[in-house]
Amino acid sequence: MKNIKFLSTLALFFICCSCNEKGIKEKPKPDGVWKQIGYGNIIELNDTIISVYNISKQDCHLSFKEHVLDFGKVKNYSKDTLTIQHGNDDWLFTRLEELPNFCKNSNELSKDPKHNFQVFWDTFNDHYASFGIKNINWNEVYKQYEPKINENTTDLELYTIFREMIALLNDGHVKMEVPEKIEKEYKNQIEEQQEKYSKLAEFNINKEIAELYVDSLRNYNAGMVRYGLINDNVGYVQINSMLMLADYGLQKDLDLRNFYGQYWKKAEKRKDEIQRQDEVGGINKVLNSIIKELPEAKSYILDLRFNGGGKDAVAINILNHFSNKEKFAYTKKARIEKGFTNPQKIRIIPSKTHFSGNVYLLTSHLTASASEVLVLASLGDTNFKRIGSTTEGIFSSTLDKELPNGWEYELSNEVYQDLKGENYENIGIPVDYQMDYSKNKDNFLDQLSNDLKNKKDRAIELAIELEK
């Protein structure tokens, strides 16, 4: 009986010790208030819910409150530091004891035009990465526009001033969204130049090009990816977006308009970070299939001439399928008030299913954003040759912000550099073989249309000739 009592006591002792040890080793949740290094955000974590506050020198207000996966994925944390993975990026945070007072108090100036102008100007002053490259003196811009604003400035007048300031930057990643009524009023007061080619017309041109050269052309997601063989031994892959590549089981024969509507209906139900993985999973699936379906391919043509961007992670995963060695591809850093964050090094990791031969990368001035990231990362690959014209020159991921009055805007706050430290923002990445492609979209598409009338595409012809 004594032995039984002793064993019971001993068992209870070990259970308690085990519980205490578990309690000691168990990591506390990263709940609390954190300030992001760069990017102008303060976040408050409460289990899986995140509250994101936009901050500037004179303003702090709640931007959104959502599930944490709409912001990123908690990667690691300690008592004082937190890392959230957002796509390829690691965002760093330091802990605050509490939410600053000016984030707690309601802002009576939220509708004041001068206050909104000041917040807008401050945000660019602290975070925009390319004033030097673009030769813009932001202090002089302040002196030019601030005196035009007073308490009686209308929404339309304020928006017009913001649009003029944005135009000075000539940056495809700087945008603003306002209520529809204001946007209509703005468009009524200016004469906008109409583009000759709609997105659908552009899509039809790239389809004609693919059909001209590829026998048994295959399509994925309504033509977001087109592929097949040229002359029995050259693989051709046309990738028209770094988005809308997830496999959501949609009908195979949908036209572009119906595909777009049905795709985003499904995509918008997914948390942001999960949807990003959907995109990566989609491109990995289709490229694995392409490489297996085209075993005769001795080389590949990757056509990015119509690709306006999307997700950087998609771009890197495409390159993973055409690289045979793990390596650093490029670095990126974010602007902070007195300089930049420490650079992140982005790596190429070859996919299990990958192609190691010659790759001819076709680019134009429409090749922009995430598709340029692929081109940038390819610079270290000796098996790549670039044909066409310089890319657009807009690399930075967009920093999403909101004014106190609720207007949303985006700016470029990052610098991407190749392994030699070169920055191609605003100038684009040059090619090895130059075509006389126009930087004007309509003129460029005219050039391709005229070539099609003669049953040829000069960039594809050159790639075929080089491979011979």
What is residue 28's predicted lDDT score, i.e. its pLDDT? 63
Domain match, 311 and 188 both: no
Domain match, 410 and 382 both: no
Question: Across-strand partners of 302?
Answer: 237, 361
Domain match, 162 and 294 both: no
The reply to whether 176 falls in a domain is yes
Instruction: Point out the domain boundary residue: 66, 81, 104.
Output: 104
Round the average pLDDT of the chain to a whole number and report it: 92
Do 287 and 300 contact (CB within 8 A), yes or no?
no
Report, in this order, helix, strand and coil percent for the chain, each rounded to 5.
Answer: 40, 25, 35
The reply to whether 357 falls in a domain is yes
Region 409-434: mean pLDDT is 97
Domain match, 84 and 129 both: no
Residues 76, 277: Cα–Cα separation, whole Å? 19
Q: Pick the more confident residue, 115 or 106.
A: 115
What is residue 191's predicted lDDT score, i.e. its pLDDT? 75
Cα separations in angstroms, 120 against 51, 213, 403, 407: 21, 49, 7, 10
The reply to whether 12 falls in a domain is no
The reply to whether 4 falls in a domain is no
CA proximity to 51, closest of 37, 39, 66: 66
Q: What does the pLDDT look like over 39-59, one tens digit per residue?
A: 999 999 999 999 999 999 889
Domain match, 164 and 310 both: no
Domain match, 242 and 348 both: yes
- Identify the domain containing residue 77 by its residue range: 32-104
Q: What does the pLDDT look like over 114-163, one tens digit per residue?
A: 999 999 999 999 999 999 999 999 999 999 999 999 999 999 999 999 99
Q: Is the pLDDT of residue 300 over 60?
A: yes
Region 220-249: mean pLDDT is 97
Domain match, 42 and 122 both: no
Q: What does the pLDDT look like over 401-417, one tens digit per residue?
A: 999 999 999 999 999 99
What is residue 109's predicted lDDT score, i.e. its pLDDT? 77
Domain match, 86 and 222 both: no
Q: For the chain, what is the domain count?
A: 3
The reply to whether 24 falls in a domain is no
The reply to whether 309 falls in a domain is yes
Instruction: Point out the domain boundary residue: 104, 125, 141.
Output: 104
The reply to whether 20 falls in a domain is no
Question: Domain containing 187 — which CATH number?
Answer: 3.30.750.44
| 156-159 long-range Cβ contacts below 8 angstroms, 24+ apart | 156/182, 156/185, 156/186, 156/189, 157/113, 158/113, 158/116, 158/117, 159/186, 159/407
C-beta neighbour count of 24 within 10 angstroms: 7
Domain match, 184 and 128 both: yes
Domain match, 437 and 413 both: no
Q: What does the pLDDT look like over 359-397, one tens digit per residue?
A: 999 999 999 999 999 999 999 899 999 999 999 999 998
Question: Domain containing 281 — which CATH number?
Answer: 3.90.226.10
What is residue 9's predicted lDDT score, i.e. its pLDDT? 45
Q: Is the pLDDT of residue 22 over 60?
A: no
Residues 274, 279: Cα–Cα separation, whole Å? 9
Region 308-322: mean pLDDT is 97
The reply to whether 19 falls in a domain is no
Domain match, 346 and 445 both: yes
CB burial class (10 A; 0-12, 13-18, 19+) of residue 460? buried
What is residue 193's predicted lDDT score, i.e. its pLDDT? 74
C-beta neighbour count of 361 within 10 angstroms: 26
Domain match, 232 and 153 both: no
Question: 3-state DSSP call for residue 149?
Answer: coil
Q: Is the pLDDT of residue 180 over 80?
A: yes
Percent of the chain with pLDDT over 70: 94
